[in-house]
Chains A and B, each alone.
Chain A
Amino acid sequence: MSRTGTKLDAKKVNSELFTLTYGALVAQLIKDYENVEDANKQLERMGYNIGIRLIEDFLARTGSGRCYDFRDTAEKIQSGFKIFLGITPSITNWSPAGDEFSLCFETNPLTEFVELPDNCSNLKYCNILTGVLRGACEMVQMEIACWFVQDQLKNDNITELRVKFVKRLEDAIPAGED
């Protein structure tokens, strides 16, 4: 996923290849852990490790500045989904305090060909996304919590991802940061 201007040029990958690769990963995890809960946890951890690296790509590419408001953050997360997954989830259901919002996905490239079998009813198929968001925000000194409240795979109309601001990691903010 290199950007324009470099020799590699903006390489677009067919999203089906990505969908299938992710499917293979999830299937393998369930086989390895033999327990859906553990697979959920593992997906979140993998996502976290992706997030702490992916944030640099996002920043280098967009040149965005620091967020001083959670609404800024929401918009940046939205644009991140556009850049990396080619989808634009809608931002809804703000809490009155402005510290919690939902990302609603009408379509989700991760789940395009997926039907959950009965023994996986507890599986959070897209749980990698919660990890990615947590890892990426942590690197810009923001602690968030993130979970799925609705899932199209579980016969909901949309997939809804809830994001909650926990705190600013004040002591991790680099010196001389405006």
Chain B
Amino acid sequence: MKPNDVILHSVTKVAVFIILTFSIYLFFGGHHNPGGGFIGGLSVASGLVLLYLTFDIETVRRNIPVDFKKVAAFGVLIAIFTGASSLLFDKPFLNQAYGYFNLPIFGKTELATAVIFDVGVALAVIGTAVTIILSISEDG
């Protein structure tokens, strides 16, 4: 008899949203509170792993059709380019630029290039973690 895991499926569908929201919160909180790219990326990856555990790999891959090796590489690429962009302005490598902007909804907001670097870190962490999980779960 095929096991019926409808409860697991229903709970996962809700829980994944909470996990992903929380990881984005962690990610953006990194500058002033505990959090940041690494922990944010890792919790996104844990949300994805929960999806893989609940549904089978093929289903998730159909719905999230990305190659996570390339996600990791793309993340590192972003991080390098954030660092290397300061070469164009003749500033030392990895120089951080920041400023205060009046955004429509958020009001006065501090925007820093360190966030872009963190996006790179987060993508690299997500890509690496999911790649590890996927490659040890597959046969051969």
A, B bound: no
